[in-house]
Amino acid sequence: MNLSRRDFLKATGLSGVGLALASLGLDVGKVEAAAKEYKLTGGREFTSVCHFCGCGCGTIGYVKDGKLINLEGAADAPVNRGGLCPKGIGYGHIPNAELRPKCPMYRAPGSDHWEEISWEEAIDRAARAMKKARDENWVGQDEANGYKFMSNRTDAIGFVGGSQVNNEECYQLIKMARALGVVFIDNQTRVCHATTPPALNAAFGRGAMTGSWYNLKHAKMIWIEGSNMAECHPMAMKNVMEAKDNGAIIVHVDVRYTRTSRVADHFFQLRPGTDIAFLGALINYIIQNKKYDADYLRRNTNAFCLLRDDFDFDAGIFSGYNEKTRTYNKETWGYKLDANGKPVKAPTMAAKGTVMDHLARHFSRYTFEKASAITGMPVADIKKAAELFSTITPTVMMYALGMTQHTIGVENIRCFTIIQLLMGNIGVSGGGIDAMRGQPNVQSSTDYGIMFQYYPAYLSYPTHVDDTLAKWTHHNGTFRAKFLKNLLKAWFGDAANASNDYMFNALPIRNGTHNDSMYIMFEKAMAGIVKCIYVCGQNPQMTNANLTIVNKGLKNLDTLIVQDVFVNETAAFWERPGDNPADIKTEVIFLPAGSYLERCGSMTNSMRMLQWRMKGPDPTNDSRPDYWICDKLWKRIVSLYKDSTDPKDNTIKLLTWNYGDPEANGEAYVENIMKECNGYDLKDGHLLRGIREIRDDGTTMAGMWIFTGVFGDGVNMTKRRGQEDRGGMGIYPNYAWVWPDNIHMLYNRASCDENGKPVRPGQKIVWWDEEKGIWDGYDVPDVADRTQGPNTPGGQKPFRMNAEGFARLFAAEHSDVENGETRDHSYVPVDGPMPEFYEPVESPTKNMMNEGQKTEFNPCVIYPRIPELQKIGTPDEYPYVLCSSSLTEHWCSGTITRNIPYLNELVKEPFVEISEQLAAKLGIRGGDRVRVSTTRSAIEVKAMVTKRAQPLMVNGKETHMIWMPYNWGFKGLSKGPSTNYLTIDALDPNVQEQEFKACLANVERL
């Protein structure tokens, strides 16, 4: 018989292998006989989730005698259906990789070599280093803007990492860090998607991808901007191609022609950093030509709301700007309110002073001609893009780091939210905004608050302005205070109660006059303030911008602790070529971690889906699971403080850590952590079934309120592999579990009219069932109470996580007040309630947005912070725009991929890609060695001459872009200079994410 691999995988993935083969007409007896010779005979099968991008592809491995003997894609995983990219399949090499460290290691101050040490010594050294830094540098009372407050923190310890470890390990890390009093806390999301949560939150109330990978098949158009999806998210692209097979139009907007462009129906090239000018022209076209969905706007947005009379915008600056501090007072960015404090609505959107009126006037300046002059894109292309977007619906917009890594990153993404709301594409099948995460668990390391500005589950971290629970509640609302109380109850157990504000003040309070991001962490290390940094599953000596500062900071530490699968450039920074180890006095402790295949736990992919990883092979050499290392480290720290009588140490003593012994039963230990994240009813002990069961009176606890239900009634939902897809809507409700409450399409209430009837019956996903008296659907309805019908206030909140209950085209300053208390407060970006185009900090041209522009780059950006190390390049000396990103074959810092031989064979070294026109101008041929330089550094690489990035006419001048991958460093099997010595560390003012995608550079032939 002729049997395709697809048919085989489809059959065997959905049933028992024997039955599947029989159903295909094969003689099962003969097959079973042949299997005796099959190489996997006697192997134990296990399922897991890929280590690389945020797609969350399922994998199946086979273990024999404790060793991995095969790794492949899981055919029953809805994301990838058996497929894996080159990196995913190549990971099978890692358990037996030659450079895996044999045991923990220690590098003494001034030493030029590692010493092998025991785990007991490594854990003890690490614990004592943290204790020393904490005890000698404790900040009890602090002062901010003349206000004195109890801070209970240390600025001497920094925590970095979490995006490559499992969910439960993220939880261990954040509990440990906060209990120690650490405020310098960060993870990989700072350098990739930190701008995503505030941008999406400002519009919708949550900061996550709105739909699922497999929802793409229902889209009529898929708009990919700022992402080379085919290379960086191949299995997500697989779902895009299915949509294309179904007739969807694919549009790609990017700074160069890539493999994604190759499969798109339309490609539009623009200059790096100019997406707001382009998208602003599309928004203007949609509004001026009334192409928007007026009914959707009426039902679901603040388009009709009236703004305050004193709100203003002039020459690039919104009202309330303080030029001296480069900050805004956002008070004037609010609504006109009625007697009950609710936004006043006009009878029509076009009425003067409405959100829609302001939006129309603001974006009327974004003409096709102006956008063309700024972006370099021809007017005809911009018009064509506008016509496409305004005539095809539903549309999914997909983006990655091309949109996020800018000093206007938040406002870039805000353009997406506005245009999708105008077209009615949020909360509907085939619509949405998909933020494509680039690391296996960067979504959840953000969810868990491994960032200085969050508690777990996106609860704002307190600063001096809300240094009591009462103040925090006033600013954030009683709605969120309930979840904070449950978090504190999970962390401190019986010690947390109403009489002591659930131990709110036991944890550190930040000084809000400065940010505590990873970039500032290394600057403070240079200054001698940060003494000890603990890095888990990250490589900042490779992945930060302006690496000279990172390196100088590492050299000035007392102690560096690194926990990873390989000794990476951060752990071995003292080995950097050209440096003298004898001059570097930092002690380094290296803790060898097991690979993802060697331990169990859950992961969260870009679409918010939590999946379980089974343990496969035994840990390589003497490496250990991250959860084991974290457990031993915390317990050793606790033992060092057991006899302390200092009040500052009570937090450490009282923190709950009741998960058992990770050595005796690793899976039970990890599941105990997950149960704490899920939460318990403390009255009867049952595991909470969903968010609706959380109470604010101290009788429930939940460490991660958005994860409540993942272990409901004692069932680990992340292990589910059900294939049911009721309605054929691509939801798969019984495969794994999605936060919150297993809602796959966020804001799906917006797909229904006021009466709860689906607006598009052919693509219905939820509805009000009058007969049952309940919201029902193929997906879990995104409503607070499923029994509150459309005729109740609760049933008319399509965007219930906003204080207003509806989506926000204009991010107004607004609190919902009930009975004199703030119920909820909506998030507002610090740099404007609407997007405005500003040039990158280093730009080849002037800001052309309007005459008399008062600022060239984002007026809230503070740069340089260290003038001698952060000089701003000019186009006369550095005439070309440098953009950096990644490759199919290599990933992030290359810690893993550059230790996989065949991936190194595919792409052997770093390079710079330049256009044929620029190559001819500079006399460069493909393969020539060139020097690429910025104000920060210079590196030498080979040139690749291509047609992929054409020169653009910007403000009447020919402008060239050059492109480089950033995946190489001085460790691993493949070595090369790191591009991030060149990149600029100017930061978005909302979340301090760097401008990787646009800085000025020069290229010279050697």
Is the pTM above the cut of 0.85? yes
Residue with tokens 């889906």: 609
User: How is residue 367 written in tokens?
Assistant: 């003409």
pLDDT at 15 over 60: no
Give me the pLDDT at residue 915, please. Answer: 98
Task: Give per-residue pLDDT as tens, 62-100.
Answer: 999 999 999 999 999 999 999 999 999 999 999 989 899
Give me the pLDDT at residue 891, please. Answer: 87
Residues β-bridged to residue 593: 624
Give me the pLDDT at residue 18, please. Answer: 44
Instruction: Tell me the DSSP string of 371-390.
Output: HHHHH---HHHHHHHHHHHH
pLDDT at 877 over 90: yes
Task: Say whether the peptide bond before residue 864 is cis (omega within 30 degrees of 0).
Answer: yes
Residue with tokens 């620029």: 918
pLDDT at 822 over 90: yes
- What average pLDDT score do residues 36-56 get? 85
* Beta strands at 609-613 and 737-738: parallel, antiparallel or unpaired: antiparallel
- What average pLDDT score do residues 942-957 get? 96
Q: Count how many residues are written for the chain.
A: 1006
Region for 279 from its dihedrals, namely left if φ exceeds 0, alpha if ψ lies in -120 to 50, beta otherwise: alpha
Type of residue numbered 347:
P
Picking from 952, 946, 931, the residue whose alpha carbon sits closest to that of residue 1001 is 931
Give me the pLDDT at residue 27, please. Answer: 54
The Cα 91–Cα 617 span in angstroms is 13
366 burial level (CB within 10 Å; 0-12, 13-18, 19+): buried
Instruction: Identify whether the C-beta of residue 484 lies closer than 8 Å to the C-beta of residue 701.
Output: no
The Cα 509–Cα 503 span in angstroms is 12
Instruction: Tell me the DSSP string of 60-73.
Output: EEEEETTEEEEEEE
Give me the pLDDT at residue 41, please. Answer: 81
Give me the pLDDT at residue 852, please. Answer: 79
Give me the pLDDT at residue 12, please. Answer: 43
- What average pLDDT score do residues 515-524 get? 97
The residues near 712 (Cβ < 8 Å, ≥ 6 apart) are: 678, 687, 688, 689, 690
The Cα 364–Cα 360 span in angstroms is 6
Task: Give per-residue pLDDT as tens, 482-505.
Answer: 999 999 999 999 999 999 999 999
* Beta strands at 938-946 and 737-738: parallel, antiparallel or unpaired: unpaired
- What average pLDDT score do residues 471-475 get? 98
- The pLDDT confidence band at residue 40, using thresholds 50, 70 and 90, is confident
* Beta strands at 938-946 and 929-933: parallel, antiparallel or unpaired: antiparallel
Task: Give per-residue pLDDT as tens, 443-456.
Answer: 999 999 999 999 99
The Cα 477–Cα 823 span in angstroms is 4
Task: Give per-residue pLDDT as tens, 327-375.
Answer: 999 999 999 999 999 999 999 999 999 999 999 999 999 999 999 999 9
The Cα 58–Cα 213 span in angstroms is 13
pLDDT at 923 over 60: yes
On average, the pLDDT of the chain sits at 95
Instruction: Identify whether the C-beta of residue 660 lies closer than 8 Å to the C-beta of residue 627.
Output: no
* Percent of the chain with pLDDT strictly greater than 90: 94
The residues near 70 (Cβ < 8 Å, ≥ 6 apart) are: 39, 40, 43, 61, 62, 92
Please report which helix (H) or strand (E) contains residue 413, including its range: helix 409-422
For residue 309, how many other CB atoms are within 10 A of its CB? 9
